[in-house]
Structure 1
Amino acid sequence: MTTELQAPRTIYTVSELNGRARLVLSTQLGTVWVEGEISNLSQPSSGHLYFTLKDRDAQVRCALFRGSVRGLACRPQNGIQVLVRAQVTLYEPRGDYQLVVDYLEEAGDGALRRAYEALKLKLAGEGLFDPARKTPLPALPRCVGIVTSPTGAAVRDVLHVLARRFPALPVLIFPTKVQGREAAAEIAGAIGLAERCGLCDVLLLARGGGSLEDLWAYNEEIVARAIAACSIPIVSGVGHETDTTIADLAADLRAPTPSAAAEAVSPDRVEWLARCARLESQLRHPMRVRLEGYARTLLHLESRLRLSHPRRALDRNAQKLDELELRLQRAHAHCLTRHAARFSRVATRLLAHRPDRTLTLLAARRDDWERRLNNAIRSQLQHRGMRLAQYSEKLHTVSPLATLARGYSITLRRLDGKALLDASEVEKGELIETRFAASSLISRVE
């Protein structure tokens, strides 16, 4: 014991110990996923969240900082089951082992149930579940389409019921996954394919029972909208009688089980056979009476035909047709002769009145008129030009500009531009303007 106490010691301070412990936790465990129930939730004014994550046997403290809180789709609350992604660390000032959470989501059936209710309210608000949108099923479909897994028990039950109730009914299977992440998209795609091919009068969604997670593909929005957009009536037979999915609410008819859905879409063979028998018995007597009446009418017409054989009428009509043919030939020949004579007379008259002579005469007259018109125009232009020159010379002679050009000037009062004829018309200090031939002069009266 004494030897151990005397051995070299590595002594840590509390801060150093907590720091090394935090480093070991962060490097050894790193980021982890932890599921548990939230309790002791608190949110100080800083905006950070602090809570305890617990299960039946243990608990751990957690911190969720403000920057991570803003990006969460799920708001943390006491008592809810959550799945968190966190960094394992140690809060050195107190030596508390804790999780620093950067992501949080609801876990288990609770989250699925809340997502189910939220989607249900959303689609109901849009009217996707409105009974007025439902399409009635055909009484006697030409073909039934089944959207399901080709290897499941549900498709075997459906085919057995269809074969029992109406063996002559054609069936098309549109294979899809009915569980898993890709199932919803495949189901919606199969519904769209069934509508595009145009071979089915009614579609059946079939899937056996299971948990909420197993049936979740039928609670996806893409499936509900594919059902609502499909013009073919759709019957939903998903799960057991107690299971109600979003697909059940969007479908035109909800059946408690796949077998019940098969019964809903298929006519009853026994009932249809009985109905056909009743219709046959109702049609047999009227048809017999009508056929007997037709037979009597046929006998009567046959006796009348023997008395008046059509060969005689045919011979008379043939002779009349020959006579009409001869008359038509004679009339046609006479018409051709008459038109030929008329054509000869018109041709003779046309030769006597050929228009080329008239056109030559008119062209000569037009050239003469054009020459005479041009001569008259030239004569008028010369005469009027001479008169214009005479008028221009006379106008220049009496123009005041010509007078100014000979050395004269004109004096105007600057105020109103009036021509001055006498010095008494202006007063001392007024401005006057004297205009010459090429310029003007402004002066003041002194």
Structure 2
Amino acid sequence: MSAGHETTTGPLPIGQFARLVQHTVKNDPLFQHQALQGEVSSWSVHNGNIYFTLRDDDGQMDCVMWRSARLKVDPSIKVGSEVIIIGSVDVWPKRGRLQIVVARIQPVQTLGAMEETKRQLIETLRAEGALDLPSRRLPLLPKHVAIVTGADSAALSDMRQLMTDRWPGLRTTVIEVLVQGEHAAMEIVRGLAVTRALARPEVAGRLGLPPVDAVIVGRGGGSPEDL
């Protein structure tokens, strides 16, 4: 060991060092929840977990997707598929093995198709004039805000905290709806119908509330396929 790197603590046990590496990568944002792209070069399933290797021309890494996340896997993925994953680096100290724990995986061509569908929908809505409807000016100080969002979501918690900090005492009504999945659109429309009713003074008055004069439709983050 060079003089510039001498230590008085002595050599670390290898297991302790492996756990130190694990702690470091699990607490560094650079190695957590990263979006990565590559080609699947191996693919196997064991005890419900998926083990695969992600590679490109410059390198490769072992990946694992636990069975709890396996329901989100596109069945078309196989060896040779080009995919995008969302994953976090972890280290298995007993084996000294570094791998990516994958939360999401999606074929690149599927994401491209989703973007094309989104583009076509926007063009259709624009052609129908739905995007050109006149907007209403928001009140400077709303008296009653309706929030259409998922139940017990982080997004709802953030919105409530922000409104409490900026406008303490502001009246809010939460209308809980599904914000992803095949029934989400119908649920959100239902939620907006409730806010429209609460905007009528006679309806709000029967509930002892001021009429709704502002509406928030919101959700937190999510993968592109969920959104």
**Normalised TM-score (structure 1):** 0.26
Structure with the larger strand share: 2
Higher radius of gyration, 1 or 2: 1
Structure with the larger helix share: 1
**Normalised TM-score (structure 2):** 0.48
